[in-house]
RNA sequence: UGGGAUGUCGCCAAGCGGUAAGGCACGGGGUUUUGAUCUCCGCAUGCCCAGGUUCGAAUCCUGGCAUCCCAGCCA
């Protein structure tokens, strides 16, 4: 049971009631993706719900591939989906495929015909659309609606046997062409499609439609609560109709919740697919993609994603979550767990004129400012260093707490330095800074003056060259899905690649799964596509919260 | 003159007739060798609107209004 202190969402409340009313004695849910694309953050919400509910009530949750449309499906997606669910930290009770129920589904369809509740319709797709009527006007009966049970049985078996061309016949439920709910106007339950199915090969040339296959698959598996998104609300009467007509071992309850919308992103497999095919991104796992695999490569942790799903809740209200919520989740997780490191993104050389030429010190740097148990490491300090160009100004007001010509600043974990001289080229570009250091300031503050700023640095010689990729939102508008042409709202600056960055030596053996906080910059992880023989590539997962940026933009 | 749903702070979200939780965001203090973290304080006399019932209504009733979804042989 969920802890009473934490309010239950309406679905868990329903389940709690169903259990106490003895409507059900145990809980079984399912996560039913169609293998026609990669899973995205919206699926994570559904995964956390379905597996979370099963876990909370000591029930089971199946992973079921809803693979009834071979035209769009692909085994590559199956393995990617399994990997993503496992990576999120969930274990399915059973791994199923709707396609393994094709025989049973066929028998159910035959039963429906025998009940005079289904018929073979020979209308063309266009004729069928005309017969369907409109939202405000009733449809018309198909001329084939009154075929005899025997004839329907015969035609349906011929459909199965491949006697008809694709699209020439369909099996339809006989419900009500005048229903105000269009889903009940004799919906199609089987269509003819000669396509190799990734699981069943050439065994079938007829495939069941979602409405027919889904509820019956749920019933076959003994699903107690079939959780789906709001757009299926209108389908529930049909879901129930099939179950009521047929002798199913159980009647699962469909409950709808609202899908996740995230500002500045798209959660539509079709559109995400377009981003890949039209090369707006590198792949499904491009770190800018809201896919589970993209988030993983970007450096998001499973914990952060699950925390996010916890925070956004489950309701029936249409909602759009601000990006800040997701970002906050990963910051919180990594703030706690990520070891700190020093990395200079835009290197500016500085020379300490009073530091001995060939001296090198090994300075102690804690891996986490609040967690001694995370230990510390040694970082090399020398006469020539790099600091970030953004951390120096020739002149600045008091608000600027970094290095200024003629002023002092603290080098993190090292000494206080003072900028003595700026060396420029003929175009006024700053090439190098000549500084002095105060040997008395290692591990302690000077007593006679206050040094307010602290900046990060790296030894020029004893550091590693690295490429760093900075990501920004993929779209320039908050709701790209509502645009007539969402591709035109793509942010052309969603990826900024920095070459010649310098990172501290200890990052030499970084692994993609280990995120670091580059102090004062943000959280980063090694890109998993990086070739070990090349210079390392780091992805920026998220920046640090930056109140200075707020102050600076305010002016 | 179709049907289905939803409206509580900028974004989420508790609340289930007894007098508006929490998170994010935002504003302001404090600590700090990360402008980070942490911490303290502030942030809906108000719950889409209008009536009604009640000692008492975000919660019940009536009537409006707004928004979303549905006319694939997709899921």
Partners of A464 in beta bridges: A503
ipTM rounded to 2 decimals: 0.97
Active-site entry in A132, A140, A145, A259: A259
User: From the Cβ of A406, is strand B under 7 Å away?
Assistant: no
User: From the Cβ of A30, is strand B under 7 Å away?
Assistant: no
State the DSSP string of A199-257.
Answer: TTBTS-SEEE-HHHHHHHHHHHHT-SEEEEEGGGGGGHHHHHHHHHHTT-S---EEEEE
Residues 80-109 of chain A with CB under 7 A from strand B are: none
Protein CA A320 to sugar C1' B8 (Å) = 16
Residues 6-25 of chain A with CB under 7 A from strand B are: 7-10, 13
Mean pLDDT of all residues in A463-489? 96
Domains of chain A (ranges; CATH) run 10-259 (3.40.50.620), 269-339+466-554 (2.40.240.10), 343-456 (2.40.240.10)
Residues A272 and A513: beta-carbon distance below 8 Å: no
Does residue A288 carry a catalytic annotation?
A: no
Does residue A34 carry a catalytic annotation?
A: yes
Residue with CA nearest C1' of nucleotide B1:
A136
Pure H helices in A57-101 = 75-88
- Which nucleotide lies nearest residue A211, CA to C1'? B75
pLDDT of residue A529: 84
**Where residue A1 falls among pLDDT bands split at 50, 70, 90?**
very low
User: From the Cβ of A333, is strand B under 7 Å away?
Assistant: no
Protein CA A136 to sugar C1' B1 (Å) = 9
Residues A33 and A46: beta-carbon distance below 8 Å: no
Give Cα A465 to chain centroid, integer Å.
30
- Give residue-wise pLDDT tens across range A248-297: 989 999 999 999 999 999 999 999 999 999 999 999 999 999 999 999 99
Judged against a pLDDT cut of 90, whether residue A7 lies above it is answered with: no
Give the CA count within 13 Å in the CB-facing half-sphere of A128.
19
- Give residue-wise pLDDT tens across range A373-419: 999 999 999 999 999 999 999 999 989 999 999 999 999 999 999 99
Mean pLDDT of all residues in A167-179? 98
Mean pLDDT of all residues in A221-243? 98
Residues 193-252 of chain A with CB under 7 A from strand B are: 193, 207, 209-211, 213-214, 230-235
Give Cα A242 to chain centroid, integer Å.
34
Tell me how far apart the terminal alpha carbons of chain A are, to the nearest angstrom.
52
- Please give the Cα distance from A118 to A323 (Å, whole number): 48
Judged against a pLDDT cut of 60, whether residue A83 lies above it is answered with: yes
- Give residue-wise pLDDT tens across range A343-362: 999 999 999 999 999 999 99
Buried b (16+ CB within 10 A) or exposed e, A370-408: eeeeeeebebbbbbebbbbeebbeeeeeeebbbbbeebb
Does residue A127 carry a catalytic annotation?
A: no
Per DSSP, which regions of A303-427 are E strands? 340-341, 343-344, 347-352, 360-366, 376-382, 384-388, 392-393, 403-404, 408-411, 416-424
- Please give the Cα distance from A301 to A85 (Å, whole number): 13
Protein CA A554 to sugar C1' B24 (Å) = 22
- Please give the Cα distance from A358 to A467 (Å, whole number): 28
CA dihedral defined by A216, A221, A226, A232, rounded to 10 degrees?
-30
Protein CA A336 to sugar C1' B37 (Å) = 9
Residue with CA nearest C1' of nucleotide B75:
A210
User: From the Cβ of A128, is strand B under 7 Å away?
Assistant: yes
Give Cα A541 to chain centroid, integer Å.
13
Nucleotides of B under 7 A from a protein CB: 1-8, 10-16, 21-27, 33-38, 67-75
Pure H helices in A322-473 = 323-337
Rg (CA), chain A: 31
User: From the Cβ of A148, is strand B under 7 Å away?
Assistant: no
Active-site entry in A117, A269, A402, A410: A269
- Please give the Cα distance from A155 to A170 (Å, whole number): 10
Mean pLDDT of all residues in A504-520? 96
Judged against a pLDDT cut of 60, whether residue A491 lies above it is answered with: yes
């Amino acid at each position: 049971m969920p802890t009473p202190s934490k309010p239950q969402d309406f679905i868990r409340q329903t389940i709690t009631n169903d259990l106490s009313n003895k409507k059900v004695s145990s809980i079984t849910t399912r996560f039913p993706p169609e293998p026609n694309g990669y899973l995205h953050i919206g699926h994570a919400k559904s995964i956390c719900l379905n597996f979370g509910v099963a876990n909370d009530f000591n029930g089971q949750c199946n992973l079921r591939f809803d693979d009834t449309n071979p035209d769009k499906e692909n085994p590559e997606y199956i393995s990617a989906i399994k990997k993503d669910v496992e990576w999120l930290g969930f274990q399915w009770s059973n791994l199923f495929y709707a396609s393994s129920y094709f025989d049973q589904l066929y028998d159910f369809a035959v039963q429906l015909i025998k009940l005079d509740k289904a018929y073979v319709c020979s209308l063309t797709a266009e004729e069928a659309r005309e017969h369907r009527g409109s939202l405000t006007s009733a449809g018309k009966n198909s001329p084939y609606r009154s075929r005899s049970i025997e004839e329907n049985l015969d035609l349906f078996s011929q459909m199965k046997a491949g006697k008809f061309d694709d699209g020439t016949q369909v099996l339809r439920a006989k419900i009500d062409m005048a229903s105000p709910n269009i889903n009940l106007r004799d919906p199609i339950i089987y269509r003819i499609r000669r396509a190799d199915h990734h699981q069943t090969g050439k065994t079938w040339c007829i495939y069941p439609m979602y409405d027919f296959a889904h509820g019956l698959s749920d019933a076959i598996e003994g699903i107690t609560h079939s959780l789906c998104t709001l757009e299926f609300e209108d389908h529930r009467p049909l879901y129930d109709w099939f179950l009521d007509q047929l002798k199913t071992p159980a009647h699962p309850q469909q409950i709808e919740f609202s899908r996740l919308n995230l500002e500045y992103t798209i959660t539509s497999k079709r559109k995400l697919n377009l981003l890949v095919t039209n090369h707006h991104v590198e792949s499904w796992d491009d770190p800018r993609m809201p896919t589970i695999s993209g988030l993983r490569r970007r450096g998001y942790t499973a914990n952060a994603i699950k925390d996010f799903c916890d925070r956004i809740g489950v309701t029936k209200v249409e909602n759009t979550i601000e990006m800040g919520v997701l970002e906050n989740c990963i910051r919180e997780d990594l703030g706690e767990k990520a070891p700190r490191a020093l990395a200079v993104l835009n290197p500016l050389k500085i020379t300490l004129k009073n530091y001995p030429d060939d001296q090198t010190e090994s300075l102690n740097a804690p891996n986490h400012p609040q967690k001694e148990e995370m230990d510390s490491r040694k970082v090399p300090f020398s006469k020539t260093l790099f600091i970030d160009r953004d951390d120096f100004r020739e002149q600045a007001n008091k608000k600027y707490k970094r290095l200024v010509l003629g002023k002092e600043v603290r080098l993190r974990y090292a000494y206080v330095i003072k900028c003595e001289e700026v060396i420029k080229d003929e175009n006024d570009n700053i090439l190098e800074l000549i500084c002095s250091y105060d040997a008395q300031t290692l591990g302690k503050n000077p007593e006679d003056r206050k040094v307010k700023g602290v900046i990060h640095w790296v030894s020029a010689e004893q550091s590693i060259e690295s490429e760093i990729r900075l990501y920004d939102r993929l779209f320039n508008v908050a709701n790209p899905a509502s645009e007539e042409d969402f591709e035109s709202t793509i942010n052309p600056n969603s990826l900024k690649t920095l070459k010649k960055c310098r990172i501290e030596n200890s990052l030499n053996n970084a692994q993609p799964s280990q995120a670091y906080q580059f102090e004062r910059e943000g959280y980063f992880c090694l890109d998993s596509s990086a070739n070990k023989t090349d210079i390392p590539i780091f992805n920026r997962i998220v920046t640090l919260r930056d109140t200075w940026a707020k102050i600076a933009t305010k002016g």
